[in-house]
Amino acid sequence: MTTALSPTARALRALDLLHARPGATANDLADRLGVTERAARRYVEILREAGIAVESVRGRYGGYRLQRGSGLPPVVFTEDEALELVMAVLESHPAAAGDHDDGVGAALEKVIRVLPEKVGRQAAALRQHAAGAPDDRSVRPDPSVTSSLVAAVADHRRVEISYSSQAGNHWVTEVDPWAVVVRYGLWYLLCHSHRADAIRTYRVDRIGSIAVLPYRFTPPAGLDAVAVLEENLGTGWAFPTRVVFDAPRDDVAHWVGPSMGRLEPDGDGCVLVGSTQNPEMYAGEWLAQLPFSFRVEEGPELRAAVAAVAARLTNACRP
């Protein structure tokens, strides 16, 4: 059963709407809140009585606006909002459930502590009794590096980064940072590398330092950062790969991730073209799980890694 919201709760909802949509009219608030215009005006009066400066602007483009510099009250969560927030934190960061020395866990505890008693009690119980399995693939980058990258993305400023690859190589390069993307627990920088003169994706947790440069750039118009990241995860690595399948592309596509390369039709079958920094992982973790016959046409490092996996499995079947 849904509990009816109190006038104060509806007034806070009205405050959220005014903060997001300056100039909203009483009719706008009424539509959003599911009440009459008279009730919407009453909620505005409740906000004013609480000391929040809400001004009325008359005319064609009039409506209610929050005065500049007016202080907002502490954030108030509904029961569902509070529980969904705790669930989202635990889902992405299981250590926050019980480790009070964990930074995210400490922040979550502070949020729970200031919630209203009933909501806070439920949120605390959810945190205490819910358990999450850590994702071994998830790596949390340095917050200061991540924040600096996001600021450079927002300001369209070129940066110089130092980077360490999985193979242990280190280099310094200048990039135009287009976006920071989180994918399956890993944080990536999507950028244009001036060193390679090409689109590159870098793991943020492998960026050691960042320096903002005095040059500005214009990002691609209509950039879909997630889609471009997916397309480029399998390119630009040290060892080229080319794998041919006898099965149709639509059948194979379900089993092939973007980081494996680009899957293209090839007669009655298809071909997977990409590159990798780790041929052993590509062969043992990715190709080995595919339920299709295939042959490696390129390159020699991947071919050797597949042969090693095949020999190991063959030996496992011997008496």
The answer to whether position 232 is within a domain reads no
Number of other CB atoms surrounding residue 53 within 10 Å: 13
Question: What CATH number does the domain containing 57 carry?
Answer: 1.10.10.10
Based on the domain organization, do 123 and 191 belong to the same domain?
Answer: no
Chain segment 233-272, per-residue pLDDT in tens: 877 788 999 999 999 999 999 899 888 988 999 999 999 9
The answer to whether position 228 is within a domain reads no
Single residue among 223, 258, 281 that ends a domain in this structure: 223
Chain segment 147-164, per-residue pLDDT in tens: 899 999 999 999 999 999
Judged by average pLDDT, the poorest of 33-37, 133-137, 237-241 is: 133-137
Q: What percent of the chain is helix, strand and coil (3-state, nearest 5)? A: 45, 25, 30
How many independent structural domains does the chain possess?
4
**CB distance 48 to 59 below 8 Å:** no
The percentage of residues in the chain with a pLDDT greater than 70, rounded to a whole number, is: 92
> Is pLDDT larger for residue 61 or for residue 125?
125
- Which band of pLDDT confidence, cut at 50, 70 and 90, is reported for residue 284? very high
The answer to whether position 72 is within a domain reads no
Based on the domain organization, do 121 and 180 belong to the same domain?
Answer: no
Would you state the pLDDT for residue 96?
A: 80
Q: Which long-range contacts (CB under 8 A, 24 or more apart) does 76-85 make?
A: 76/9, 76/12, 76/116, 77/115, 77/119, 78/9, 78/119, 79/118, 79/119, 79/122, 82/115, 82/119, 82/120, 82/122, 82/123, 83/119, 83/122, 83/123, 83/126, 85/111, 85/123
Q: What is the mean pLDDT of the chain?
A: 85
Based on the domain organization, do 219 and 148 belong to the same domain?
Answer: yes
Based on the domain organization, do 216 and 287 belong to the same domain?
Answer: no
Would you state the pLDDT for residue 296?
A: 96
Cα separation, 314 vs 318, in Å, equals 7
Number of other CB atoms surrounding residue 185 within 10 Å: 14
Based on the domain organization, do 87 and 29 belong to the same domain?
Answer: no
The answer to whether position 71 is within a domain reads no
Chain segment 63-108, per-residue pLDDT in tens: 888 876 555 555 667 778 888 888 888 877 877 876 667 778 888 8
Based on the domain organization, do 259 and 304 belong to the same domain?
Answer: yes
Cα separation, 201 vs 164, in Å, equals 13
> Is pLDDT larger for residue 175 or for residue 238?
175
Based on the domain organization, do 158 and 201 belong to the same domain?
Answer: yes
- Which band of pLDDT confidence, cut at 50, 70 and 90, is reported for residue 61? low
Quick check: helix, strand or coil at residue 319?
Answer: coil
Single residue among 223, 256, 284 that ends a domain in this structure: 223
The percentage of residues in the chain with a pLDDT greater than 90, rounded to a whole number, is: 41
Would you state the pLDDT for residue 48?
A: 84
Find the mean pLDDT for residues 157-185: 91
**Residue 18: closest CA among 50, 58, 55:** 55
Cα separation, 226 vs 120, in Å, equals 35
Would you state the pLDDT for residue 2?
A: 38
Cα separation, 283 vs 243, in Å, equals 11
Question: What CATH number does the domain containing 160 carry?
Answer: 2.30.30
Quick check: helix, strand or coil at residue 290?
Answer: coil
- Which band of pLDDT confidence, cut at 50, 70 and 90, is reported for residue 1? very low
Tokens 């450079």: give the residue: 152
Based on the domain organization, do 179 and 211 belong to the same domain?
Answer: yes
**CB distance 293 to 273 below 8 Å:** no
The range of the structural domain enclosing residue 38 comes to 7-66
Chain segment 210-223, per-residue pLDDT in tens: 999 999 999 999 99
Based on the domain organization, do 307 and 243 belong to the same domain?
Answer: yes
Based on the domain organization, do 18 and 55 belong to the same domain?
Answer: yes
Instruction: Report strand pairing: 294-298 vs 239-245.
Output: antiparallel
